[in-house]
Amino acid sequence: MLQYYPWRPRPIFISSTFSDMHAERDYLQQYVLPELAERLRAYRHHLEVVDLRWGIETVSLPEQQAKELLILKVCFAEIDRSRPFLIGLLGDRYGWIPPAERVLAATSEVVLNIDPGYYSITALEIEYGLFKDPAQSRRSFFYLRAPLPYHQMPAHLSALYTDEDTNPEAFAKLQDLKKRLRAGFPQHVREYQAGWDASRNTITGLEAFGKQVLDDLWHGISEEFDLGTPAPARWQDEEQQLLDAFIEEHCRKFSGREAKNSFHK
């Protein structure tokens, strides 16, 4: 008989730094995630994207840091909500390191024992979402962007994309984080190359990156969950499917009447 599958949520948590990963997050939002949502919809699964940084790039630095502190309050809860798939985007910036007392207040609630003055917001998400729970590794993918042509950029612009010259300490922490990811989860770490359009000062060439993310998430979700059978494309087909299932189920239990009980005109 036909089996009916109820709608189910499939959350994905996106972790990244801010303005330096703006192009990648936009590409995911515009091209990759809609395609993934469409595929899942055919199997009665809702895609739920959790990216707590969308919309922050346009605010001032003090406002950005204030919002990051708010993010810190909820990011652990969002990661825990159903232990969603987690993808991390890392370039050459480590990200802002919040005040140690705020980190300590947030991490103590979730029993994450780390040096509170050492980690950026993005690193904290990865520490909690991945390193604290080894079982999460099969549901996590990390995409490390190769260095952009910083020598072709004005100093103020290159500083938006790399900490190497402006914040060597943060850059060293980032390299350590990447090293831990590569060593601990080699099958789930991807290296990708993006292009740079100097005339528009923007990142380009994200097609291969987007395809990799789509393939990883689709295969990962398909392996992790039983997606069931595709739902009918039309509502008429869906109603027919449910009617056929109802008839099939009830006919299996119906044994008929004896001839002597039949009514004759």
DSSP 47-84: EEEE-TTTT-TTS-HHHHHHHHHHHHHHHHHHHHTT--
Q: What is the pLDDT of residues 140-190, one digit of tens each?
A: 999 999 999 999 899 999 999 999 999 999 999 999 999 999 999 999 999
**Residue pair 237/227 in contact by the 8 Å Cβ criterion:** no
pLDDT value, residue 137: 87
Domain containing 189 equals: 8-224
Residue 26 maps to a domain: yes
Residue 67 and residue 160: Cα distance in Å, rounded? Answer: 19
Q: Is the pLDDT of residue 85 over 60?
A: yes
Please report whether residue 207 resides in a domain. yes
Note the pLDDT of residue 34: 95
Q: What is the model's pTM?
A: 0.80
Report the CATH number that the domain containing residue 61 is assigned in CATH: 3.40.50
244 falls within a domain: no
pLDDT tens readout for residues 200-243:
999 999 999 999 999 999 999 998 887 766 665 555 555 655 56
pLDDT tens digit sequence for 118-127? 899 899 999 9
Q: pLDDT tens digits for 114-153?
A: 887 789 989 999 999 899 887 888 899 999 999 999 998 9
Please report whether residue 53 resides in a domain. yes
- Rounded distance, CA 146 to CA 24, Å? 13
At residue 51, the pLDDT reads 83
Q: Per the domain annotation, does 181 fall within a domain?
A: yes
* H-helix or E-strand spanning residue 122: helix 121-126
Domain assignment of residue 75, yes or no = yes
Task: Confirm whether 245 is domain-assigned.
Answer: no
Whether 254 is in a domain gets the answer no
**pLDDT value at residue 227:** 76
Domain count, the chain: 1
